[in-house]
């Protein structure tokens, strides 16, 4: 079923907010102009997906986003025959639509997909830029504006989930991380309209939590979670409660760890 794919088409009606943290905008545009595929790697919630949405809108390109998972099949990407009005008709998948239209196909957390699925990307991610569709006998040449973008979180990589070198070496790569202090504060203010002092306090809490990675926390406070907390505070929620709901409860199920994190929050915002 096509419902196995999260299929999102976005247009340039409004450019999503994104604050550059280096030369990533320039590199993305250069990769697109030269028909090069792009690999973005970085921790969960650091802005990879927002960056791709921003760039698609900036370039005026349709964006098809696929959330990769263990059950993702090549047919979910390429397409399949379906029954409609008593007839069998071919239905393009998100990858095929992007290839035909000249849009961006973004495969989020690509290492979660089965390896036999990602092989379908190989002829699109080299100088051939073609997509064979065995079911219809087509050999599609990618539209000049087509771009393939994939992402993954290196922190989740292991022997079974790593990207094959034969796939990885087909991409230009960008490495993302959480923004620097002032940058992250600016993101919170730009995204939610929160005041500078609250933004500063939220970022300081995140930095304290991130210091606990690999000790008490498997995952750390992402910029995305900070935006959630800031959104609740901007709506009038008490800061400690907002941080507990958006950060603490999301990051841990252990009561002792949660209590320790709450102490950091209370020390920052006051009791």
Last residue of a domain, one of 119, 145, 175: 175
Reported as a pLDDT band with limits 50, 70 and 90, residue 8 is very low
Are residues 244 and 212 part of one domain? yes
Burial class of residue 24 (count of CB atoms within 10 Å of its CB; 0-12, 13-18, 19+): buried
Last residue of a domain, one of 175, 205, 231: 175
CB 57 within 8 A of CB 14: yes
Last residue of a domain, one of 141, 158, 175: 175
Are residues 188 and 166 part of one domain? no
Are residues 247 and 152 part of one domain? no
Are residues 258 and 142 part of one domain? no
Are residues 156 and 40 part of one domain? yes
Q: Which residue has the higher pLDDT, 45 or 217?
A: 45
Are residues 191 and 160 part of one domain? no
Are residues 83 and 170 part of one domain? yes
Reported as a pLDDT band with limits 50, 70 and 90, residue 165 is confident
The domain in which residue 148 lies consists of 2-175
Are residues 200 and 113 part of one domain? no
Are residues 9 and 56 part of one domain? yes
Q: Name every residue whose Cβ is closer than 8 Å to that of residue 133 and which is 6 or more positions away in sequence.
A: 78, 79, 96, 139, 140
Percent of the chain with pLDDT over 70: 90
pLDDT of residue 87: 86
Q: Kindly report the pTM of this predicted structure.
A: 0.84
Q: How many domains in the chain?
A: 2
Residue 38's CATH number: 3.40.50.300
Mean local confidence (pLDDT), 194-205: 97
Instruction: Determine the Cα–Cα distance for residues 5 and 90; give it in Å rounded to an integer.
Output: 17
Are residues 161 and 49 part of one domain? yes
Are residues 159 and 34 part of one domain? yes
Are residues 162 and 187 part of one domain? no
Closest among 13, 46, 266, 33 to 154, alpha carbons compared: 46
pLDDT of residue 115: 77
Mean local confidence (pLDDT), 225-231: 97
Residues 80-111 have pLDDT tens digits of 988 888 888 889 999 999 999 999 999 999 98
pLDDT of residue 113: 86
Instruction: Determine the Cα–Cα distance for residues 228 and 126; give it in Å rounded to an integer.
Output: 39
Question: Per-residue pLDDT for 260 more than 70?
Answer: yes
For the ranges 114-128, 160-174, 250-264, the lowest mean pLDDT is seen at: 160-174
């Amino acid at each position: 079923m096509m419902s196995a794919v999260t299929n999102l088409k976005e247009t340039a009606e409004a450019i999503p907010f994104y604050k550059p943290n280096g030369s990533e905008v320039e590199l993305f545009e250069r990769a697109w102009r030269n028909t090069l595929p792009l690999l973005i790697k970085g921790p969960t919630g650091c802005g990879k997906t927002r960056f791709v949405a921003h760039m698609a809108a900036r370039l005026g390109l349709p964006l098809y986003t696929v959330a990769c998972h263990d059950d993702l099949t090549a047919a979910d990407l390429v397409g399949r025959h379906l029954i409609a009005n008593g007839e069998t008709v071919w239905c393009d998948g998100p990858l095929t639509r992007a290839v035909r239209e000249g849009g961006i196909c973004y495969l989020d957390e690509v290492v979660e997909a089965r390896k036999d699925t990602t092989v379908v990307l190989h002829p699109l991610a080299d100088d051939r830029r073609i997509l064979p569709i065995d079911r219809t006998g087509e050999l599609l040449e990618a539209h000049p504006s087509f771009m393939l973008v994939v992402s993954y979180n290196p922190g989740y990589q292991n022997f079974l989930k790593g990207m094959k070198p034969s796939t990885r070496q087909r991409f230009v790569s960008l490495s993302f991380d959480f923004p620097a202090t002032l940058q992250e504060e600016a993101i919170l203010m730009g995204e939610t309209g929160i005041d500078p002092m609250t933004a500063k306090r939220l970022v300081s809490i995140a930095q304290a939590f991130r210091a606990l990675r690999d000790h008490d926390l498997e995952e750390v406070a992402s910029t995305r979670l900070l935006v959630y907390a800031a959104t609740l505070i901007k709506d009038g929620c008490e800061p400690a409660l907002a941080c507990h709901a958006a950060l603490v409860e999301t990051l841990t199920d252990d009561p002792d760890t949660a209590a320790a994190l709450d102490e950091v929050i209370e020390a920052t915002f006051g009791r």
